[in-house]
Amino acid sequence: MIEVSFSSFYMIYIIFLGFIVFFMWLVNEAKNKSGSFEIESENAFWQCQICAYTFVDSQSKEISICPRCGSYNKKQVE
C-alpha cells in the first residue's frame, strides 16, 4: 500500500479539481465558438422614459420594466 500524507493528498485533490474545471471551461468555449458575449439584437437596449436609465432587456418586445425605478416603458419607433 502506498502511504500518502494528508498535505500531499490535499494537493493532488486540488490539482485534480483544477484540471476538471479547466476541462469544463474548454468544452464550454468549444460550444460557444464566438468566445465573447454579444447581444443578439439592437432592439434589446431600452431607455427608461422616467429616469433615463439605459438597460438591456432581450426578453421583452413591446413593453419593458425599468430595473431602477420600476416604471413600464413602451418601445418607441425610430
Domain limits, the chain: 1-37, 42-74
Pick 48 or 77 by higher pLDDT: 48
Query: pLDDT of 2-15, one tens digit each?
Result: 888 999 999 999 99
pLDDT digits (tens, 9 = 90+) for 24-65: 998 888 877 765 566 555 667 888 899 999 888 877 678 888
- The DSSP bridge partners found for residue 72 are 65
Average pLDDT over residues 17-26: 95
Tell me, what's the pLDDT at 63? Answer: 86
Reported residue count of the chain is 78
The span from the CA of 53 to the CA of 69, in Å, is 9
- What is the pTM assigned to this prediction? 0.43
Phi, psi of 59 (to 5 degrees): -85, -35
